[in-house]
């Protein structure tokens, strides 16, 4: 009777935990100024990414006669070397960066998370094969591997996204595998086994909900990593290609004019990159504190 009650109570614990986590999140948001500021700034950039290109000038319109114009009411962030509006390009760059970050996080979580959960739940030869593949990916520095993929597939936004996604997979896989191995040894999992529950039911009903918070924390941390890596690839010419307004390429374009006084070309996209990465890192830290008060989760 005790084991049966423990197994039946597991589902109720999960839903109660979700409610507690939601209330705790709202409480932290109301009392933590840094978290509130991070959410506000990230929300502002999302609004600019979604609505900015719709209400402002096109980011590719060339006006040589108005090149290198300083910030003004007509051009809040000035113009670049061929007269394109930097604010319009900033908004479009925000859309590209946030979209690529979301794609990398979603695909990486689905693929890498699945690999980690399956590897930890099954064990044996499948676990060995999957983890050796992840180890092979980890053997290369992430940026170098992303650059190699971009070079191999041809420089561009698509190949850069594929390269960044590939480098993110091991971080999900290895973390989720360790969490699954920990959860498998807990009493309520043993009780479910004793009651004759199938492995798939235990995996979907008991293990996956318990690793969801860990997956969320890792996704929040890797979102900033994805955007920063995309900018790095664009900076060295392996990401988005001109005239696509991506923040990394805009920073590269602005370097040659920075010392001559046209600082706005590279500074504004650099500030956007700084805000996004800092805000997402703050969100990842707070998510760890909220979802795991003991601070035992290891995340990138």
pLDDT digits (tens, 9 = 90+) for 238-256: 888 878 888 988 898 888 8
Tell whether 76 is covered by a domain. no
Could you give the angle at which helices 264-291 and 86-122 cross, rounded to 10 degrees? Answer: 30
Q: Are 84 and 97 in contact (CB under 8 A)?
A: no
Note whether residue 78 is domain-resident: no
- 65 in any annotated domain: no
Does residue 293 register a pLDDT over 60?
no
The pTM score is: 0.80
* 67 belongs to a structural domain: no
Instruction: Report helix, strand and coil shares of the chain as percent, to nearest 5.
Output: 80, 0, 20
Q: Is it the case that residue 299 has pLDDT exceeding 50?
A: no
Query: Which contacts qualify for 75-79: CB closer than 8 Å, 24 or more apart?
Result: 77/264, 77/268, 78/262, 78/264, 78/265
Cα 102–Cα 293–Cα 211 angle in degrees, nearest 5? 50
Domains contained in the chain, number: 1
Residue 106 belongs to a domain? yes
Which carries the bigger pLDDT value, residue 24 or residue 237?
A: 237
Query: What percentage of the chain carries pLDDT values higher than 90?
Result: 28
What is the average pLDDT value for the chain, to the nearest integer? Answer: 82
For residue range 51-89, list pLDDT tens digits in order.
888 888 776 778 888 888 888 888 889 888 888 889 989
pLDDT for position 161: 93
- Domain for residue 73, yes or no? no
pLDDT of 295: 47
Predicted pLDDT at 15:
58
Structural domain containing residue 243: 2-56+84-291
**Chain centre distance of CA 22:** 21
Is residue 102 in a domain? yes
**Strand runs labelled E in the chain:** none
Residue 299 maps to a domain = no
CATH number, domain at 282?
1.10.3720.10
């Amino acid at each position: 009777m005790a084991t049966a009650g423990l197994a039946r109570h597991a589902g109720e614990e999960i839903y109660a935990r979700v409610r507690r986590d939601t209330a705790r999140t709202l409480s932290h948001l109301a009392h933590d100024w840094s978290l509130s500021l991070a959410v506000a700034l990230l929300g502002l950039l999302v609004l600019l990414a979604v609505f900015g290109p719709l209400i402002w000038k096109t980011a590719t319109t060339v006006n040589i006669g108005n090149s290198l114009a300083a910030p003004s009411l007509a051009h809040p962030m000035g113009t670049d070397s061929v007269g394109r509006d930097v604010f319009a390009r900033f908004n479009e760059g925000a859309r590209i960066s946030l979209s690529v970050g979301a794609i990398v996080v979603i695909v990486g979580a689905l693929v890498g998370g699945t690999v980690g959960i399956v590897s930890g739940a099954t064990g044996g030869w499948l676990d060995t094969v999957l983890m050796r593949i992840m180890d092979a990916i980890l053997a290369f520095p992430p940026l170098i591997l992303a650059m190699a993929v971009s070079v191999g597939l041809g420089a561009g936004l698509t190949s850069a996204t594929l390269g960044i996604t590939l480098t993110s997979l091991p971080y999900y896989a290895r973390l989720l595998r360790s969490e699954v191995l920990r959860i498998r040894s807990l009493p309520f999992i043993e009780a479910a086994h004793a009651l004759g529950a199938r492995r798939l039911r235990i995996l979907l009903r008991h293990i996956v909900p318990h690793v969801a918070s860990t997956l969320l924390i890792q996704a929040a941390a890797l979102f900033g990593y994805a955007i920063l890596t995309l900018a790095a690839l664009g900076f060295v010419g392996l990401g988005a290609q001109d005239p696509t307004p991506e923040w990394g390429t805009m920073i590269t374009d602005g370097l040659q004019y920075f010392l001559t006084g046209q600082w706005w070309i590279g500074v504004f996209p650099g500030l956007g990159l700084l805000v996004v990465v800092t805000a997402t890192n703050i969100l990842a830290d707070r998510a760890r504190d909220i979802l795991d008060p003991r601070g035992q989760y290891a995340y990138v």
